[in-house]
Every structure is written in structure tokens, then in C-alpha cells.
Amino acid sequence: MEVKERIVQDKGLDHTLKLLEEGYLFIKNRMDLYKCNIFETHIMGEKAICISGEEACKIFYNEELFQRKGAMPKRIQKTLFGVNAIQGMDNQAHIQRKRLFMSLMTEVHQKELAELFEKEMEASVNKWANMEEVVLFHEAKNVICKIACFWTGVPLAESDVESRADDFCAMVDGLGGVGPRYWKGKAARNRTEEWIGGIIDDVRQDKLIVKKDSALHLMAFHREPDGSQMELPMAAKELINVIRPIVAISTYITFTALAMYEHPECHEELMHGDNNYFEMFVQEVRRYYPFTPFLGARVHKDFVWNQYEFKKGVLVLLDVYGMNHDSQIWSDPDEFRPGRFEEQKDRTFSFIPQGGGDPGKGHRCPGEGITIEMMKASINFLVNKVDFEVPEQDLTYSLSRIPTLPESGFIMKNIRKKL
């Protein structure tokens, strides 16, 4: 196909500082300004092509056209994902590793984790009732860290729960951080890899006996495509890549509470405990509030799309936040309206808060089902299991900060069990 147009150029030599200033809105601001769904910019000294929209998403998840290897900056690997772990793999190596992750995240496991979470939250109410105030984000990340380690088979002393939870959250927070935030995330990653690596080594040497169907056991004895045992450092990284995203759901749970507070018109429907409405509400939280800003890949081979030429090796960023607020995909995108999900339709490439495509084969997050079920459990807990007051506080969140969270972490007071 003949290339007929030049790609829109973002003015300026490098836009790394602008990305740090504008955060989640960096790509969307330019799409709106240039009235396009593709433009070229420069980030951290290299050319990057930014794309948005359902058709753009379809090509982004075409593995013949794009690869993940080499797409992720080392600084993100050293905080969030772990160097050379599953998120940066392609082809058969990725499929084989992904199969391992998918085996841990079946519907049965999703329900199991959600039930563990809700029970542990209920068990915490007596303690919270004696506290002057409770910060939901802090309590949720501790509870989730505790149940995630229990579920995976990782031994965790009660006295270590908070510090380990903080380390998992610091890895996530280091994603968009520079200076102290980045170094804190990197140090947390190093500490956690050493801790988890030691546990896996104990399992391999029969010093620690765990269930054979646990994530800990499966990672400890996983075989690579060539039949060799996965190297210990990689096994540690991948087990962390099971636990860390589960702990990160504490952010979604905090935004769920914020949505319930900001939209009291939904409260009556939520009190009915209807699973369909819970699901619609959760999906709207995932669409409306910020979580993943964008995703990156590199062009695997030269091709032409939308009259623009993509050259092998070029970095491409897919605008996740912008697609969640795109008026071509969603009617009234800046309104919070759970009912928009009542219509059953294929949203594989139009609704991608945790990635697009087939989670079993591609790079969509395998833990998406766990996220949804735990968010639904949090709604049931907050609506039907406890009463509480929401005092005056700063519930704003900054779209320039990646990742972001309500400033106060969502403070609750006078917490008591519902009779």
C-alpha cells in the first residue's frame, strides 16, 4: 500500500518532561490537539509513535507486527516487572510461560481469592472499630498482601505483612517515578526478589513443604521449553509477578470506594447485591478512573497502517487512558454510568484497562478476572457488611502522576459491622 501522508509530528526535540508533567493525558492531549489517532513524538531520546482507537489496538496486539522484547525500558523492568520476565517475552517462549500463569488464574481461583479477601476484610472490622480513622488503601493493600501470600503458598509472618505490602506497592509506584520514587521501587524489587528467591530455594531443597498445586511450588519446579528448570532468579521474578499485581488491586478498590461515594445514585442498586450490576459498576470504575496510562511495544517488521509506515524497531505507545475516554468508543465518556456495560458486545480491543486481545495467548493481563472478582467483593463488603462515615478529606487525584491515587487514600471513620 502506498504511503500517502506524513505522520503528524509532535513539535519539539524531546517530550519526556512533558510526559512527566501531563501523565495520563500526554497522548490524549495531542490526539485532541492534532485531531488524529496517530502521531510521532520523542521520549527519552528516541522516536515513539503514539496510537489510539479500536483499530489501532487490533494491530498493536498482532504479534506478527509487534514484539514486546526490547520495548520496556530497563528502569521499569528494575522496579515493576523484573528484568527479562514474562512481560518482555514473545512467541513460543511467551505462550509457554503464559500458560503457567493462566493455570493459576482460573475462575475457581478468582472466586477463591475474592472470598479470602472479603473474609479477611470482615475479620479486620473489630480492629478498625477501635481506630479513630482508617485509610482504606493502606488497609486493603495489607489485607491483599496477606491473602495473596497465603494463596500462593508463600509463608508470611503477621509482623511482616505491612512492610512486604509496602514493597509490592513501591514497585508499582516506581513505574512513573524519578529520583526517590524510582530508587525506592528498585530497592523494594531487590529486597523482594531476595526474599522470594530464598523461599523458592528452600522449596527446591525440601526445607519447606508446600502444596503441589500452589503457585510457589509450580514456579519452583517449572520447566522451560528446553526441559531445563527455570533459573532461581527468574522463578522469583515470576512469582512476584503473580503476587504484585494482586496487591495492586488495592488501588482499584480505593477507586471503587471513591466511585460509590461520588455517585450515591448507584447505592440502591448496589445494596440489592445483584452480581450483574456489581460487574457493570466494576467495569465502569475500571474505565472511568486512571490505572494503566499506556502500553508499549516495538515494531517487529516493516508495515503500513492507516497510510503511515511503521519501521522495524520503532517504539509504539498505545493510549489506554485515552481509549477509556474516547467519545468515538463511549457515549458521554466523562460521565460515570455503569449502565453503559449492560449492552453485551465484544470489547476485546475497545476496552483495555489491563490490555487487549486474548489473555490466554497474547499480552493481556492474566489476572484481569481476579481484579474484577476482588473489586466485586469489595463492593459487597463496603455496602452490605459494614457501616462507616466518610469525613471531609482530599479525595482528588492527579492525572499528572503515574500511577495515581486519591490523595487521602479514602479515609473512613466510625466503622462498625452491619447487623
Q: Please answer whether residues 327 and 349 qualify as being in contact, where contact means their C-beta atoms are separated by less than 8 angstroms.
A: no
Spell out the alpha helix ranges (H) of 223-339. 232-247, 249-262, 267-271, 275-288, 320-324
DSSP assignment of 37-90 equals: SEEEEEETTEEEEEE-SHHHHHHHT-TTTEE-TTTS-HHHIIIII-TT-GGG--
Query: pLDDT exceeding 90 applies to what percent of the chain?
Result: 78
Predicted local confidence at residue 1, as pLDDT? 40
pLDDT, tens only, 27-44: 999 999 999 999 999 998
Query: pLDDT exceeding 70 applies to what percent of the chain?
Result: 98
Evaluate whether the domain defined by 8-417 bears CATH number 1.10.8.60: no
**Per-residue confidence band for 5, with pLDDT thresholds at 50, 70 and 90:** low
Predicted local confidence at residue 243, as pLDDT? 96
286 Cβ contact partners less than 8 Å away, ≥ 6 residues apart = 252, 353, 354, 371, 372, 375
Burial class (CB in 10 A: 0-12, 13-18, 19+), 277: buried
Q: Does 293 score more than 50 pLDDT? A: yes
pLDDT, tens only, 339-351: 999 988 899 999 9
Burial class (CB in 10 A: 0-12, 13-18, 19+), 32: exposed
Mean pLDDT of 45-71: 93
Cα–Cα–Cα angle for 209, 210, 212, nearest 5°? Answer: 120
Q: What is the mean pLDDT of the chain?
A: 92
Half-sphere exposure of 275 (CA within 13 A, CB side): 4
Which residue, 28, 36, 47, 39, is CA-closest to 311? 47
Longest dimension (CA), the chain: 70
pTM (predicted TM-score):
0.94
User: What's the Cα-to-Cα distance from 304 to each of 3, 69, 91, 297, 310, rounded to whole Å?
Assistant: 7, 21, 22, 16, 6
Phi (first) and psi of residue 120, to 5 degrees: -70, -35
Burial class (CB in 10 A: 0-12, 13-18, 19+), 341: buried
The three cell numbers of residue 15 are 517530550
Q: Who wins on pLDDT, 44 or 324?
A: 324
Q: For the chain, what are the domain ranges?
A: 8-417
Q: Does 372 score more than 70 pLDDT? A: yes
Mean pLDDT of 97-121: 92
Phi (first) and psi of residue 381, to 5 degrees: -65, -50
d(CA 418, CA 387): 6
The three cell numbers of residue 266 are 448507584
